[in-house]
Structure 1
């Protein structure tokens, strides 16, 4: 049985969920098992004291079966809605049993799993920080369609429930208790069951708050003018955040508010209809594909060489205590790894260590003895890297992996500085390191499989997401993101209003406007990368494209506008005030620039997708999943799209090629689709 039914001599029934597979999920097996379990309990209702609902798995319940959800289309939507309504009906029967039903939550309960718990009269959770509770459906472009919106709104009120629902927050047990979504914490598995049983005995006939006569949603009172002014403003506030490209938060808001104004069972119907609208839409398909299937494949070692034993880093040496080096040291120490942070002076190293007891600051290579991993994070200067790498290699363990955090310099060239290039690899972290979850692993020409596997294991050990790419200038992320920034500067040169460029970029779902990013990375660095590329490889300069962008950058730098760190760039940075676009950029503006808003948006998104295709063609990228996940988590490509290659899939390959040809004819050959992309489009083959 997928749900074990056990009744003891005190009349307490324990329902233990134990689906086939590693986790409990909402699928046909669950549907049948829960239907049978509810019927069994109803048959003995008058003879029992109550029900404890728990799990035989490590987790309580994992949620909806996404393999099923991605197959829902407008054609089979009525069938999917019927299935959903039936599952909700089972939970409704459970909560209206007339006997106490307690969720004994022994592990994470997310999505559908937490919706099951919400249908219980009382929720006790094991006080373990590894446990996560909540409704993260919005992060996959969905809403909680198993009663989650309806019950959370009635449990907490519209305003407290909305952030949990719209942002898909996952809470640890202590926070869940504070938020009021669970009732009690248990110290052990035994205590969990004991508390559940005690509550049953003390509450023989509980009724859910929303089933009590005269119940109203806590913060929605009919006729209260404050409520209506708040609800009138909410969609506008939300639109400012989502820019209209994320339908899930908008549908959650609608389901929450509309549901709050009607009775419970009608609210469930409203929620179900909005759920089906989302699950049949393209955005949910994009987000589930990338943030669930492709991300899980990466986490499970899809890009890791097979046949190499798993490894753990015990001591890491970080060279350079600037912002990147300090961040790498911090996340490594947090993962329980012994860290040595080296800089030219002890003072600089100590500043970088920021009082963290897990980090030993030093100015001496001798302290790197015993390190099984060295990560160089000094300035983006080949001579400096060539100097610090061999000295660190000599001090570390003989078989230590030596890595560089370079964001643009080819790894194969840097590997020449060390004795054994098979042990050399790129580990490209993103700023700020503690917040950014991606690490781009770059394999040089001589990097061994063992070195790659050890680097991959380290990235997982520190809780980050690894993508694996082959060597090239700028690799995948810096190279592709560079096209976004230079395309924007190119538009400034053409006379497009800078504010229009920034606003359209954010409206399209990009994390940060390209001119703001240009200031962050500094205008001088962009010029240095261009110069280094030209110096190293005249042919390789093609990556830069036919951009008039560099003339604008040169002019601004000549005037001392080097970027944010220099106090001025495309933006002004008033002390203690908010940054704003430099009015002096008006000199580039032209009333007849003739670039429509749609063209601005497409130029910014298409240029990145086209560069990704080139990276795939050249073998820089090893998988479609690495491309999509890397683009969203590495450089903030519009998450609603599912990433750069999924953007092409959802646009339609033939339509994308046609639009790219228009952009190439109008704005330059850098938009011309590759032969491989035309071939794919002709065959109707998606990425």
Structure 2
């Protein structure tokens, strides 16, 4: 069965219908490439063809490149891969330049290679649908549009308009694409879509791309045009400041776009192919495809959900505590159409929590992202209250009060009486063991941890923590709820700090240790950014608050002492204590921490940090290695100890939960791509130089001994 159906109607219009066999979506796989080659041969043999329509038999138009293939391409395949891409482009270029009209009949979303197919057409018609998206998101997977997307977008829109779309991987709505001139007409259904496509062909018997017309000028000008040249003179520096040199794809896109804009179309396409080959054969794209495509898809399909349990639809959610976290959870829940009861100790506090959603919604309305009616609907879903009895009818209650076991036990006991027999009680704790909190519940099987991240409206991850007695049914309900509100769930087992808070703590502590060692604080922060972390350890410690970190450390120390274990103060602990008790600097919320926070102007490192500065020189790459290895090795310990149950959850959770650099593909993929043998040797070196926190877990040693290539 061919991936492209070839049909010529009575008007000699050829309709090429994309229909990849054995796939729910069309992709540029080997079947498609073979089919396209056959189609082109057929077209070349038929001089009567009056026009061509690209259509789709799938629900969406075309999904893009075959990522299963791309992740397999190795450096030694570069030559053959480059030639394959060039052949594909040559076939599309033949269709584009034959001189007859070519129309894209877009029945749904076209991303990546699918949008590149559409760009090959002279006229693009789309069905009016709010769910449809167009664009070139390859950069988010460490790649660039290699099917002509850069070349055609630049020629159609100009460098200044096209570059942000290409380098950020933005997806466009039908209306936005039309406003940019990328979509020429709209249809209400597939019948009208095909009819309009045929009518346009009949009305334009001779057609070519606008940029193939002699004398065509790229909108805004070429790189030598003064305004464009001025923009390009600062673009590389701005890009490097943003990527810190960790992501080659945006830089390759910029280069391909600028270089391609100075030559003819065919040469520009070849330049694009070379950059695409460079990225596709590189390791970073493999890291990112593995996690952001395969990993996320596995989670979306329920990889961490107990099997054999019917899907559950949460109807009403009670949230205890209307502070920043509770208010954020209320917004995330209500925005998906679920009724929310937001309870606090006073109606004033509860109303204040609801006002947080009002603020977020007002901003969206002012930006034109949602209607005022839609905002009102979301707000109507939130019922603020100070009365526990209003929780009646909730099938899920989430407590989001302060990290105090006694307080959490109190609110659990006073609220869970309003749950039905099959209802779920959850805690939003970030560090306290769920099994311990569950002891306050009437039924520990129905108690679970739902660890959201701040700010909830922006952070995509939810860490689901199974207590010792949490039932599979409760886990399934929690998983379904998290997915319903548009978040990504990872499932972990119960330990103090779970996975994300525990590993995140190693990053912050490593920064504090470097400070204690006498390294200049600005060098510490810069090394973390160059590693790919979104924020430096000193800045993030201020955000978390030093007093909270001290409290968590004290609680952990008490728990260990109760178990007959001891945890001596580390140099990081001593830095925290000195900051709080000697210098009265408690973090951003208190107005003073490792940074000063002037009312006017940007934050800046506190000059008093000279207290620790000893002009200690540690190579930047050494600090980068320390930041990455301390987190990766502790993530591996979490897998070894059973806190984590899958490598996928480790990689996805580390990126979305703690900001582990996306270029690595996640904490465990960092070790894989480093090379397990080399990672073991490096960990041993770090252990010898800096201490037992870098001790390689036994699982790493065992994998290396077994000759394994990955965890």
**What is the TM-score normalised by the length of structure 2?**
0.94
* TM-aligned CA deviation for residue 16 of structure 1: 1.4
Aligned to 2:409: 386
**How far apart in 2 are the matches of 1:493 and 1:449?**
45
Given that 1:534 and 1:540 are in contact with CA atoms closer than 8 Å, whether structure 2 keeps it comes out as: no
Which consecutive unaligned segments of at least 5 residues does structure 2 have? 359-378
1:281-309 Cα offsets, whole Å, 9 max, x none, are: 11111111111111111111111111111
Of the three residues 12, 25, 28, the one matched with 1:26 is: 28
SS of corresponding position for 1:46: coil
2:505 is the alignment partner of 1:488: no
Of the three residues 592, 603, 612, the one matched with 2:626 is: 603
2:199 is the alignment partner of 1:198: yes
SS of corresponding position for 1:339: strand
Given that 1:220 and 1:260 are in contact with CA atoms closer than 8 Å, whether structure 2 keeps it comes out as: no
Q: What does residue range 358-377 of structure 1 map to in structure 2 within 5 Å?
A: 358-377=381-400
Which consecutive unaligned segments of at least 5 residues does structure 1 have? none
* TM-aligned CA deviation for residue 514 of structure 1: 0.8
1:369-421 Cα offsets, whole Å, 9 max, x none, are: 11111111111111111011122211122211111111000110111111111
Aligned to 2:577: 554
**How far apart in 2 are the matches of 1:242 and 1:626?**
25
Aligned to 1:584: 608
SS of corresponding position for 1:340: strand
Runs of 4+ in structure 1 off by over 6 angstroms are 539-546
Q: What does residue range 260-659 of structure 1 map to in structure 2 within 5 Å?
A: 260-354=261-355, 355=358, 356-538=379-561, 547-558=570-581, 559-591=583-615, 593-659=616-682
* TM-aligned CA deviation for residue 368 of structure 1: 1.2
Aligned to 2:372: none
1:68-121 Cα offsets, whole Å, 9 max, x none, are: 111111212211111111111121111113221111111211111110011011
**How far apart in 1 are the matches of 2:539 and 2:447?**
34
* TM-aligned CA deviation for residue 447 of structure 1: 0.6
Given that 1:72 and 1:280 are in contact with CA atoms closer than 8 Å, whether structure 2 keeps it comes out as: yes
**How far apart in 2 are the matches of 1:628 and 1:307?**
26
* TM-aligned CA deviation for residue 201 of structure 1: 2.9
Q: What does residue range 34-433 of structure 1 map to in structure 2 within 5 Å?
A: 34-48=36-50, 50-221=51-222, 223-354=224-355, 355=358, 356-433=379-456
SS of corresponding position for 1:433: coil
Aligned to 2:366: none
**What is the TM-score normalised by the length of structure 1?**
0.97
Q: 1:47 to 1:483 in 2, by over 3 A?
A: closer
Given that 2:222 and 2:261 are in contact with CA atoms closer than 8 Å, whether structure 1 keeps it comes out as: no
* TM-aligned CA deviation for residue 350 of structure 1: 1.4
* TM-aligned CA deviation for residue 219 of structure 1: 2.6
**How far apart in 1 are the matches of 2:395 and 2:280?**
47
* TM-aligned CA deviation for residue 649 of structure 1: 0.9
State which drifts further: 360-369 or 7-16: 7-16
* TM-aligned CA deviation for residue 671 of structure 1: 1.1
* TM-aligned CA deviation for residue 539 of structure 1: 7.8
Aligned residues: 685
**How far apart in 2 are the matches of 1:446 and 1:47?**
69
Given that 2:412 and 2:440 are in contact with CA atoms closer than 8 Å, whether structure 1 keeps it comes out as: yes
Query: Over aligned residue pairs, what C-alpha RMSD do you find?
Result: 1.7
**How far apart in 2 are the matches of 1:537 and 1:223?**
66
* TM-aligned CA deviation for residue 458 of structure 1: 0.9
Aligned to 1:665: 688
Given that 1:283 and 1:641 are in contact with CA atoms closer than 8 Å, whether structure 2 keeps it comes out as: yes
1:472-516 Cα offsets, whole Å, 9 max, x none, are: 000000000001001111111111111001011011110111111
**How far apart in 1 are the matches of 2:194 and 2:120?**
18
